[in-house]
Each structure stands twice: as C-alpha cells, then as structure tokens.
C-alpha cells in the first residue's frame, strides 16, 4: 500500500480528505505504512500524542476544554504532535506560526493521550474507530493526525467524541508554562505569549 | 430622518432592552435586521433611514451601537413595528444580562467567522444550525444549568453540559434535526430527532429539565 502517495493525492479539502483515505485504505491500514516522506516512522502505540489548544472557542466559561477541540476527526483530520519525537525547537516554530496567524489565537495548553488508548476506542462492532497517522510536514516532522476510520453515523459522533475527550484527560490540560517545563513558552516572543 | 436625530435614536435605544416586539411579530429575530453603516452603500434596496423606520438596538445582539454612525436600512424591513422608546424598560440598574442571553450572544458572534476559523480548515458557522441552537437555548429557561455552546469543525453548533453526573452533547444539524448523546450517571441516551424550534423535544424535557 502506497500510503504516502495516497496522502499526497487526496484533496486536502474538508471531509473529502477523510472519506478519500478511508475509501482507499479502510480499517486504518495506513497506520502500518509511513504517510509522509518527512515522517521518521509510523506512530507507535507507546507514543504520547499532544493536542495543542489554540482557539478560545474551545474553552468554556470556567476555563475548561470543550470536546469540540476534537471535532476535526470527522472533517479535516485532527492535528496532533508526536510528543516523543518533536524537538523543542520544532514545537517553538510550530507554536509561533500558529499564534502569529491570528491575533485571536492563544495557547491554552496541551492535552496528552497515549496513542494506544486512542486506537483502542471502538465502535459498536468492536472495530477501531479512530486512526492515528504520521502525516508529517516538511517543517513539522512530528505532525500527525487522528481521523475516523469509517463513515460514522450522526447518532454515534458525539459519543465517539466523548470517548476521545476522556482519553485525552480533558480535566487536566498542561499549561504552556508547565509543558516541557516551560521550554516552549519561554522562547515565544512576548507578543505571542497569550494564554 | 435627519442623521443627527437618528444618531440620537441609536444612542437612546442602545440603553434599552427590547420588549413588546414579540407580540407584534412573534417570529421576528432581531439579529436578522438588515442594516449598513456604510455611507457608500448604493444597492437600490438600501435606503436612508427615515421617520417611518424604527431601528432596534438591544445592546446584546449584533445590531450597531456606534453613536456616530449614519445608518442605511434595507427596504424590505416591513415587519418592524415602530416602538416608542418610552415603552421600553431601561437596562441600567435593574437588570443584568442573563446567562441565556450571553449564550445567544456568543453563538451569534460566531456568525462573523469565516472558513478556516481555527487554522485547521474548519467550516464557517452554519447559519441554520446557529438559529436552531439559539431557539433551543431560548426554550431552556433558567431552571437548569446553562450549557456551553460549541462550534464544531463542520460549522455546526452544539451545546454541552459536563457537570456532576451529567454529560450531554447536543448538535444542531441545520436541517431541523438534533443529534444527541447524553450520559447521566451510567445511563446513556443517544439518537437523532426532529426539532421544530418551537417546543423542547420530550427526551430533553425528561433528562435535562428534571
């Protein structure tokens, strides 16, 4: 299976991307092959996945994270960083680029989950519901994505999101000041230190 | 209308909560009023506000509050009943914004967002989904814990509760249907149902309002 070619060919446009991947490579088969030439290797079950929270829209009145932070799993693919292979310099670049893209963005923290727990989320037929792919980018080799593994009925979406929300330990986001002992936060320019 | 007197109307009306309009036009949505603050607006449907036009500023929704603006109004505003500002109740002192109004305001404020609002390719808010969510919030009353509004990557609006033993996620699909997942203690409820924006579906009355 040429998963790199599939990833390159699929139109990067909303649900078309996820549908296209699932049609050509069902049942998360591309988890076994590199999805990008920039990826060092496929995502191992032992790896920690980091979901960075940059939009205040996903934060509630009490400062808690809302499950909407994961809603990209049904549309474009939900971006994550492979915490074990991302260097701090790469994360500084990534964070800086994201925050400088829009004045309304801020860095509320990071949610972490083990890759294996995400992959163990199953549907009613006990099939894997969410795939984790190593969709590395040239300037961000630790980039990966989570996406649904099949066309999930509207009835089941919120429940699936709830499971993902749970495994990412939503009650305990790591603050920017504490993530990697503040190594990323400290290196951000002062005008981007918005949290 | 003389622009200066219109400015006065805006400044005065902005301090009032709109009351009474619902009896004149029950389905009128204040947020749907069409207006422009651009003096260069030249479409034939846009006319300068005159004495026969009543502009409504409720201070919560997306109507303009700039005191120095000159307003043009859309000529198809025919539903608006002229309201004597003296019949309105002042907001100052006696009444603060309710949580429901805050929620509605937040949902409507998302209407200004464009595609890719999150930098991850998400779709801009779906207008019909937003309207359905607002209708739902207005039906909730103030007797239960207010939900959190959510903007999903699909552009749909959802409402979310996560307090004590209740976890609920209700998504407005924008076609008169709601997809829901509710967990109370260990009891799970999920499904898709019709929502007419007039009545709270029975399943939610039983679970959320009890």
pLDDT tens-digit readout, A59-102: 998 899 999 999 999 999 999 999 999 999 999 999 999 999 89
Specify whether B111 is located in the same domain as B181.
yes
Residues in chain B: 210
Q: Are residues B124 and B75 in the same domain?
A: no
In a domain, A14, yes or no: yes
ipTM of the complex: 0.94
Say if A177 falls within a structural domain: yes
Strands (E) in chain B, as ranges, are 16-17, 35-36, 46-48, 72-74, 89-90, 148-151, 157-163, 166-172, 177-184, 187-194
Residues B26 and B112 reside in one and the same domain = no
Same domain, B15 and B54: yes
Cβ within 8 Å of A, B 11-40: none
- Of B58, B74, B73, B48, nearest in space to B12 by CA: B58
Predicted local confidence at residue A15, as pLDDT: 57
Same domain as B166, residue B71: no
Give me the percent of chain A exceeding a pLDDT of 70.
97
- B99-109 helix and B127-140 helix, angle to the nearest 10 degrees: 180
Residue B78: the pLDDT is 42
Among B151, B181, B191, whose Cβ lies nearest the Cβ of A162?
B181
pLDDT for res B69: 42
Query: Do B72 and B38 share a domain, yes or no?
Result: yes
Shared domain check, B61 and B9: yes
CA dist A110 and B206 (Å) reads: 36
A57 pLDDT tier (thresholds 50, 70, 90): very high
Does residue A120 lie within any of the structural domains? yes
Q: Is A193 a member of any domain? A: no
A chain contacts of residue B195, beta-carbon cutoff 8 Å: none
A94 in contact with B, Cβ within 8 Å: no
Domain total in chain A: 1
**Domains identified in chain B, total number:** 2
- Mutation for B interface: A17, A56, A67, A101, most B CBs within 10 A: A67
Query: Is residue A194 assigned to a domain?
Result: no
pLDDT value of residue A17: 85
pLDDT at A13 over 80: no
Secondary element (H or E) of residue A148: strand A143-148
- Are residues A162 and B167, on separate chains, in Cβ contact within 8 Å? yes
The pLDDT value given to residue A16:
76
Q: Which residues of B touch A72 (CB under 8 A)?
A: 118, 120-122, 153
pTM for the full predicted model: 0.77
Q: How far away is chain A from the Cα of B172, in angstroms, using its nearest Cα?
A: 11
Question: What pLDDT is stored for residue B207 in this prediction?
Answer: 76
Which structural domain range is residue A176 located in? Answer: 3-188
Of A12, A66, A75, the CB nearest to B154: A75
Cross-chain CB nearest to B179 (options A54, A101, A154): A154
pLDDT tens sequence for chain B (210 residues): 333 333 333 333 332 223 223 333 334 343 334 444 443 444 445 444 444 344 444 333 334 333 334 444 554 444 444 445 445 444 455 567 788 888 999 999 999 999 999 999 999 999 999 999 999 999 987 767 789 999 999 999 999 999 888 999 999 999 999 999 999 988 999 999 999 999 999 888 777 765
From the list B24, B35, B79, the residue with the least C-alpha distance to B57 is: B35
Range of the structural domain that residue B192 is part of = 99-207
First to last CA, chain A: 42
Q: Of the ranges A9-13, A132-136, A182-186, B102-106, which one carries the lowest mean pLDDT score?
A: A9-13
The upper half-sphere exposure of residue A97, i.e. CA atoms within 13 Å in the direction of its Cβ, equals 10
Asked if residue B107 and residue B46 are part of one domain, the reply reads no
**Edge-to-edge, what's the strand order for the sheet holding A78-82?**
A109-114, A48-53, A78-82, A143-148, A130-133
By the 10 Å C-beta count (0-12 exposed, 13-18 middle, 19+ buried), A18 is classed as buried
């Amino acid at each position: 299976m040429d998963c790199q070619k599939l990833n390159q060919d699929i139109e990067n446009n909303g649900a078309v991307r996820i549908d296209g991947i699932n049609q050509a490579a069902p049942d998360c088969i591309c988890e076994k092959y590199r999805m990008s030439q920039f990826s060092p290797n496929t995502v191992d079950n032992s790896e920690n996945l980091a979901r960075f929270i940059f939009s205040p829209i996903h934060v509630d009145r009490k400062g808690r994270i809302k499950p909407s932070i994961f809603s990209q799993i049904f549309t474009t693919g939900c971006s994550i960083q492979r915490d074990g292979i991302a260097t701090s310099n790469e994360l500084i670049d990534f964070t800086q680029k994201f925050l400088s893209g829009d004045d309304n963005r801020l860095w509320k923290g990071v949610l972490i989950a083990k890759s294996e727990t995400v992959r163990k989320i199953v549907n009613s037929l006990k099939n894997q519901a969410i795939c984790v792919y190593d969709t590395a980018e040239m300037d961000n080799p630790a980039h990966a994505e989570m996406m649904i593994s099949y066309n999930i009925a509207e009835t089941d979406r919120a429940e699936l999101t709830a499971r993902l929300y749970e495994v990412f330990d939503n009650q305990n986001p790591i603050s920017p000041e504490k993530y990697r002992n503040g190594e990323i936060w400290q290196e951000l320019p002062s005008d981007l230190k918005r949290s | 209308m003389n622009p200066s007197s219109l400015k006065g109307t805006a400044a005065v009306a902005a301090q009032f909560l709109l009351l009474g309009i619902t009896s004149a036009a029950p389905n009128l949505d204040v947020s749907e009023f069409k207006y422009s603050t651009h003096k260069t607006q030249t479409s034939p449907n846009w006319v300068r506000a005159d004495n026969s036009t009543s502009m409504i500023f409720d201070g919560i929704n997306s109507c303009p509050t700039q005191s120095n603006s000159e307003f043009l109004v859309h000529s198809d505003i025919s539903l608006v009943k002229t309201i004597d500002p003296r019949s309105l109740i002042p907001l100052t002192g006696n009444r603060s914004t309710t949580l429901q109004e805050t929620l509605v305001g937040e949902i409507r404020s998302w209407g200004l967002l464009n595609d890719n609002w999150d930098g991850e390719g998400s779709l801009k808010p779906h207008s019909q989904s937003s309207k359905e969510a607002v209708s739902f919030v207005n039906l909730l009353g103030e007797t239960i814990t207010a939900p959190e509004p959510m903007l999903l990557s699909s552009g749909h609006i959802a409402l979310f509760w996560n307090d004590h033993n209740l976890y609920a996620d209700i998504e407005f699909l924008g076609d008169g249907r709601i997809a829901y997942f509710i967990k109370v203690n260990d009891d799970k409820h999920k499904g898709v149902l019709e929502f007419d924006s007039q009545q709270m579906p029975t399943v939610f009355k039983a679970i959320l309002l009890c």
